[in-house]
């Protein structure tokens, strides 16, 4: 009793939290809300800012008369969302990115499934070395591949260095999806391979054996039993790949020789074409960005449950 009276308010409060369950739960709850609020603000504020910019007429944006501290749209210029499509065929840029992402995801999932099966379920000499190799290559900067790939995709004859012997003439792939899907697939494969290796490795051996005795090949067991049971992992790998390609600009801006939707210029290329030599339509860029986000938002909402369990399952496994 004597010690309690000599304690300060902080010490008393601490003691209360330690001893009183209800007080402790109250603290946990408030901490949860504080942290949640922090993450919500940091993630949602940029999106809110995009909306503000899109709704504010471009002339007012450049004046910069924001009534601080509340950043709210100056005016309500929803026509920007229509103008986006009038100035350039923005939907074609979205379509390009969507198709590139879709093709890449399909290719990556197929190859990574085979690789994940082999790495996750089979014992063979050199497995560790190969895994390490994939890991190492996944850390190479993509820019390092750019020059040789550009050379090859523009259809230049491949020449043996120093000797000058012409080997073969690759097809000219620039301005086609091929020039983008190929490097994207290669770049995003390692991540998917790692995710799927973890997941496929967890499926009990007995299930695969059962499927094989029942009448599938190893490959059949992979597609009929292992992949369906690894749905969270497959969903995670595909969403990560899809979003990464959908956002990609570096490779595609170079492989599409000019910023035209007919040359498979991607979404970001479309957004940037609201910026000309003399004017920059910030409100249109913001509106286009909001529109561009929508397909991914829809995708994530649909796949949300599986992605969350997939990400945490993968994390726990490590």
- Tokens at 66, concatenated: 């924001």
Q: Which of 11, 37, 40, 207 binds another protein (CB under 8 A)?
A: 207
| Distance in angstroms (rounded) separating the CA atoms of residues 307 and 318 | 17
**Token code pair at residue 35:** 């942290």
User: According to the binding rule CB under 8 A, does residue 206 interact with another protein?
Assistant: yes
Residue span binding another protein (CB under 8 A) among the ranges 83-91, 211-219, 265-273, 278-286? 211-219
Beta-ladder partners of 159 = 166
Burial class of residue 77 in the structure, from the number of CB atoms within 10 Å of its CB (0-12 exposed, 13-18 middle, 19+ buried): middle
Q: Does 220 bind another protein (CB under 8 A)?
A: yes
Minimum gap (Å) between residue 203 Cβ and another protein: 10
In the DSSP assignment, the letter for residue 256 is S
Stretch that binds another protein, among 39-47, 170-178, 200-208, 236-244 (CB under 8 A): 200-208
The verdict on 215 binding another protein (CB under 8 A) reads: yes
Q: Is the peptide bond before 69 cis (omega within 30 degrees of 0)?
A: yes
The CA dihedral of 225, 226, 232, 234, to the nearest 10 degrees, is -110
> What does the block give as tokens for 248?
């990609």
Binding residue for another protein (CB under 8 A) from 20, 79, 166, 214?
214
**Interaction with another protein in 224-283: which residues (CB under 8 A)?**
225, 228-229
Distance separating alpha carbons of residues 268 and 259, to the nearest angstrom: 10
Q: Does 219 bind another protein (CB under 8 A)?
A: no
Binding to another protein by residue 210, rule CB under 8 A?
A: yes
Least distance between another protein and beta carbon 217 (Å): 7
Instruction: State the residues that interact with another protein by CB under 8 A.
Output: 204, 206-207, 209-217, 220, 225, 228-229
């Amino acid at each position: 009793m004597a010690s309690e009276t000599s304690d300060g308010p902080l010490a008393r409060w601490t003691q209360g939290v330690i001893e009183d369950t209800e007080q402790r739960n109250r603290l946990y709850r408030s901490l949860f809300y504080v942290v949640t609020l922090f993450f919500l603000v940091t993630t949602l504020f940029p999106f809110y800012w995009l909306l503000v910019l899109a709704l504010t007429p471009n002339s007012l944006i450049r004046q910069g008369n924001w009534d601080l501290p509340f950043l709210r749209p100056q005016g309500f210029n929803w026509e920007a969302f229509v103008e986006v499509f009038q100035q350039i065929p923005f939907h074609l840029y979205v379509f390009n990115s969507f198709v590139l992402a879709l093709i890449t995801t399909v290719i990556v999932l197929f190859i990574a499934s085979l690789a994940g099966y082999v790495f996750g379920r089979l014992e063979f000499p050199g497995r560790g070395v190969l895994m390490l190799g994939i890991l190492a290559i996944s850390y190479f900067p993509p820019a390092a591949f750019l020059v040789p790939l550009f050379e090859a995709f523009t259809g230049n004859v491949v020449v043996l260095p120093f000797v000058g012997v012409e080997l073969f003439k690759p097809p000219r792939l620039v301005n086609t999806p091929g020039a983008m899907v190929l490097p994207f697939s290669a770049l995003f494969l390692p991540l998917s391979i790692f995710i799927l290796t973890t997941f496929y490795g967890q499926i009990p051996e007995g299930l695969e054996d059962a499927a094989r005795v029942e009448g599938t090949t190893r490959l059949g067991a992979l597609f009929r039993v292992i992949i369906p049971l690894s749905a969270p992992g497959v969903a995670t790998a595909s969403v990560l790949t899809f979003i990464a390609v959908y956002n990609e600009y570096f490779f595609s801006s170079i492989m599409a020789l000019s910023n035209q939707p007919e040359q498979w210029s991607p979404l970001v290329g479309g957004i940037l074409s609201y910026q000309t030599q003399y004017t920059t339509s910030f409100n249109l860029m913001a509106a286009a960005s909001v529109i561009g986000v929508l397909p991914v938002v829809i995708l994530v909402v649909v796949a949300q449950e599986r992605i969350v369990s997939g990400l945490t399952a993968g994390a726990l496994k490590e």
